[in-house]
Structure 1
C-alpha cells in the first residue's frame, strides 16, 4: 500500500498516487463531470477548494478514487462540507483519509484488532437527495470485492452521471 507524505514536493505527489479526482456538477437538470487536479488525491483542502471554485446553482460532488484502495465523496454545503470515506482504516496509511476523519472528528479505535476490517465513515446520506439512500451507499461501500473505481461507477449509474464520469475517467 502506497503512503504519501504531506511534505513531498507537488510534482512528486502528483505522480505518487494512482486514481482520479473528478467533480460531478448538476445544472439545469443535466450532469457534467470535470477532472480535478492530481493534488486533490492527496490534499483534502485542495479538493474542497477546487469544488467550491466550481460555483454551481445545482449539486456539486467530488469523487476521489485514491490509489485504487478506497474512495472519498465530498459535497460542499453552505456551512462546510459533507464527507464520506469508504474505508476509515485507510487513515492509517493515507493523509487524505486521515484528514477526512479529522474533519469528521472521528478517531480510530485504539484496539488494533478493531482495525482488521475496513468500514465506511462519514455522511452516508451524502447522496440521498440524488437517488442513492444512505443504506444503499453503505452496502456499496462495503462491497470489498469491488475496486473503488467500480464503486464510484456504480454511484454514477445510480445518481445519473455514469456516462459523464466514464468520459472524464477514460480520457486520462
Structure 2
C-alpha cells in the first residue's frame, strides 16, 4: 500500500492528567505513518499518561506510547505489515520480522504491558488483541472500558 493512498480508520490521542481522561482526534496522516503519530503525540504536553490508539482500515490496531527512551508499541496483527506501511514501520522499530505470506496465524507484536500502569495488564491486553472476531474499533473500545475512559473515547468517535 502506498503512503499516498488514504488509509481508513481513526487515530485518537489519549491523555490522563490530574486523574481525568481526555481524548482527541489525531490527523489522518497518523494512520499511514508511524513517525507522524509519534510526532503528534510529542506535541501533547502532559505530566500524566499519553498514548495513541490507531484503528487501521478495519484490519488491525496500533497503540503508540512515547517515552524518552523511544516509543512503546503494540501491533495487534503482525501480518498487517505485509500490506500496510504503518504496521511495517512498527515491526521495524520493534526489530521484529513480518510473518511469511503463507503464515495465516494472527498474533500481536510489541509491548503487551504498554497500558499496565493505567489499568490494563498485559495478559488482558493480549486476550483483547487476539479477539479475531472483533473489529479494531471494538477492540479499542474494550481497551478504553478497561482503562476507564470509555465515555470520553465513545463520545469522540461519535463526533468523528
Under TM normalisation by the shorter chain, which class is it? over 0.9
Match of 1:132 among 104, 111, 120: 120
Size of the aligned set, in residue pairs, is 160
Q: CA deviation at 1:17?
A: 2.0
**Matched residues in 2 for 1:94 and 1:118: separation?**
15
Give the match for residue 129 of structure 2.
141
2:72 match: 82
Cα distance, 1:109 vs structure 2: 4.0
Hey, what does 1:167 align to over in structure 2?
155
Normalising by structure 2, we get a TM-score of 0.97
Whole-Å separation in 1 of the counterparts to 2:86 and 2:73: 12
Q: Tell me the SS of whatever aligns to 1:32.
A: strand
TM-score (norm 1): 0.90
Matched residue, 1:17: 7
User: 2:144 corresponds to which residue?
Assistant: 156
Deviation beyond 6 Å, 4+ runs, structure 1: none
CA distance in 1, matches of 2:151, 2:90: 28
Higher Rg of the two aligned structures: 1
Which segments of 5 or more consecutive residues in structure 1 lack a partner in the other structure?
none
Would the aligned equivalents of 2:79 and 2:99 in 1 still touch at CA under 8 Å?
Answer: no
